[in-house]
Amino acid sequence: MKKAILVFLALGIACAPQKKSEKEQLTEQVKQEFLHAWNGYKEHAWGMDALKPLSKSGKNWYDASLLMTPVDAFDTMLLMGLDEEAEEAKELIFSELSFDHDFYVSNFEITIRLLGGLLSAYEMDGDERFIELAEDLGRRLLPAFDSETGMTYGRVNLRSGETQWQVNNPAEIGTLMIEFGTLTKHTGDSVFYNSAKKAMMALYERRSDIDLVGTTIDVETGEWQNTEAHISGMIDSYYEYALKSWLLFGDEDFRKIWETHEPALEKYLLDEVASGTWYGRADMNTGERTATTYGALDAFMPGVLVLAGDIETAEKVQESNFKMWQLHDIEPEGLDYTEMKVTWAGYPLRPENIESAYYLYKATEDEKYLEMGKVMFQSLVEYCRTEAGYAALADVTTKEKSDDMESFFLAETLKYAYLLFADDEVLDLDKYVFNTEAHPLRID
Ligand code: DMJ
């Protein structure tokens, strides 16, 4: 990598100013598009969870708002230097946000978006009220860990602590460590770290003889319900958190989890075919291929491989990611990579492809990743921008829009695009670990 940087520096002198100014322009454009989306939320959905960009209205996930969009978007505002917007979001959060509600929430979604958002807000802004909110939320979520195995139920009632959804999946069980571990770091109460670690270890212990996990598991009996292995939704961020929890906390048990699974992912799931290098699906016990589908969610893996030091595989898979994007100028949720045919046509404004381009650009300084990011950002503007913000696509082949702007568009998609083009000083990747919702948390 050092050699690549030297070559880049030597060749880069003549073209640096032009490149620099293009990067500056792109950084500014991303910031303006963030403002466009945030202003749409402000005008049409203020105080609610999310904007509906076509009907110009708002919606809540549950019976009351948990301010998903402002909490998720807050640290992006700080990174972009949008101090006024950050101030108004903060005021809204401290005057309106309460977790004392008699309804069931998704433990995973609330952890990655809200707990993660409040923790990074606390670390970056320093206002104690962020950590008070985070601790209150963390305590209300703790009953989700009260199962026979220690693995989490899918849903928990924020007021009563009652739980639902005994059949859960590796992503939802194994994507809690970074947030709950950081909560322990800031509150001094080890219950959070220990509960999340117990859940993750219990899942790891139930891996198959060939070191894979399946798609769904009963958290009371510990029995697998669906044994298909892949790196897509329902499993994805379990692998991401194995590696990142080690990087963040230095706990060798997490390194062991990553290092056990990684060769199995390569042996049974990584698939080099004529169209490129992808991750397919296989049975967790036999390793037999079950499907050759990949999609927008799988595209996170090159970013994780960069953190693990495997740039070679990361680069190959990112080539495929970009091919998937270019097939219809925007990536689909599902693709059969042997035929290059879309199997699931939606695009809910996901970040993973741009996220991986960001990690690869920082690791290699290869300008092709800047170019990929530029193409992806420009297609977002072309196909998803609306008068009131940004809209998901119901179908990437026709570009028909749907009335949704997920909070992760502001928390992740535009943040990674911004960080890809911005100077390194905005965020030093050696000092932070991003949770799976792109909330940066300090390593120290
Ligand atoms: C986000 O909530 C997180 O990145 C999660 O890990 C996967 N789904 C969305 C983005 O696609």
Q: Does the beta carbon of 437 lie inside 6 Å of ligand 1?
A: yes
Separation of 10 CA from ligand 1 center, angstroms? 38
Of 96, 54, 103, nearest to 71 by C-alpha is 96
Helix, strand, coil tally for the chain in percent (to 5): 55, 15, 30
Q: Is 189 in contact with 134 (CB distance < 8 Å)?
A: no
Nearest ligand 1 atom to the CA of 113 is 2
From 72, 106, 107, 112, give the residue whose CB has the most ligand 1 atoms within 8 Å, as the site to mutate: 112
- CA 172/CA 198 separation, integer angstroms: 14
Nearest ligand 1 atom to the CA of 296 is 11
pLDDT at 18: 58
Tokens (6 digits) for 208: 């198959």
Contacts of 384 (CB under 8 A, 6+ apart): 330, 347, 349, 390, 391, 392, 393, 401
Separation of 395 CA from ligand 1 center, angstroms? 19
* Total residues belonging to the chain: 444
Contacts of 146 (CB under 8 A, 6+ apart): 153, 163
E-assigned strands of 238-333?
270-273, 276-279, 281-283, 289-291, 293-294
Of 115, 48, 54, 120, nearest to 86 by C-alpha is 120
Q: Does the beta carbon of 413 lie inside 6 Å of ligand 1?
A: no
Query: Which residue has the CA at smallest separation from atom 10 of ligand 1?
Result: 350
Q: Is 261 in contact with 239 (CB distance < 8 Å)?
A: yes
Query: Which residue has the CA at smallest separation from atom 3 of ligand 1?
Result: 437
Residue 378 phi/psi, 5-degree rounding, is -65, -35
What is the secondary structure of 82-108 as a DSSP string? -HHHHHHHHHHHHHH-----SSEEEHH
- Strand duo 155-157 + 163-164: pairing: antiparallel
Nearest ligand 1 atom to the CA of 112 is 2
Tokens (6 digits) for 127: 């206002």
Tokens (6 digits) for 356: 């991986």
Q: Does the beta carbon of 232 lie inside 6 Å of ligand 1?
A: no
- CA 60/CA 247 separation, integer angstroms: 35
- CA 306/CA 83 separation, integer angstroms: 32
pLDDT at 13: 38
What residues act catalytically? Answer: 109, 236, 333, 352
Query: Which residue has the CA at smallest separation from atom 11 of ligand 1?
Result: 350
pLDDT at 3: 34
Separation of 27 CA from ligand 1 center, angstroms? 23
Q: Is 385 in contact with 40 (CB distance < 8 Å)?
A: no
Nearest ligand 1 atom to the CA of 233 is 7
- Would you give the DSSP letter of residue 422? S
Q: Is 389 in contact with 36 (CB distance < 8 Å)?
A: yes
Q: How far is CA 2 from CA 83, 317, 356, 358, in A?
A: 36, 22, 20, 18
Q: Does the beta carbon of 237 lie inside 6 Å of ligand 1?
A: yes
Sign of the CA dihedral running 137, 143, 147, 150 = positive
Separation of 233 CA from ligand 1 center, angstroms? 9
Contacts of 259 (CB under 8 A, 6+ apart): none
Nearest ligand 1 atom to the CA of 352 is 11
Residue whose token pair is 């009652």: 162
- CA 115/CA 97 separation, integer angstroms: 12
Element of type H or E holding 438: none
Phi-psi region of 178 (alpha: psi -120 to 50; beta: other; left: phi over 0): alpha
What is the secondary structure of 212-264 as a DSSP string? ---SEEETTT--EEE-EE-SSTTTHHHHHHHHHHHHHH--HHHHHHHHHHHHH
User: How many Cα atoms within 13 Å fall on the side-chain side of residue 437?
Assistant: 31
Q: Does the beta carbon of 408 lie inside 6 Å of ligand 1?
A: yes
Rg (CA), the chain: 21
pLDDT at 307: 98
Distance of alpha carbon 78 from its chain centroid, rounded? 19
Nearest ligand 1 atom to the CA of 240 is 6
From 107, 172, 437, give the residue whose CB has the most ligand 1 atoms within 8 Å, as the site to mutate: 437
Q: Does the beta carbon of 313 lie inside 6 Å of ligand 1?
A: no
Separation of 243 CA from ligand 1 center, angstroms? 17
From 108, 111, 235, 297, give the residue whose CB has the most ligand 1 atoms within 8 Å, as the site to mutate: 297
pLDDT at 5: 34
pLDDT at 16: 43
Q: Does the beta carbon of 435 lie inside 6 Å of ligand 1?
A: no
Q: Does the beta carbon of 350 lie inside 6 Å of ligand 1?
A: yes
Tokens (6 digits) for 316: 């190959």
Tell me the average confidence (pLDDT) per consecutive run of 10 residues in the chain, 444 residues long.
Answer: 35 49 96 98 98 98 98 98 98 98 98 99 98 98 98 98 98 98 98 98 98 98 98 98 98 98 98 98 98 98 98 98 98 98 98 98 98 98 98 98 98 98 96 98 95
Cα three-residue angle 81-441-114, rounded to 5 degrees: 85
Q: Is 252 in contact with 244 (CB distance < 8 Å)?
A: no
Distance of alpha carbon 103 from its chain centroid, rounded? 25
Q: Does the beta carbon of 356 lie inside 6 Å of ligand 1?
A: no
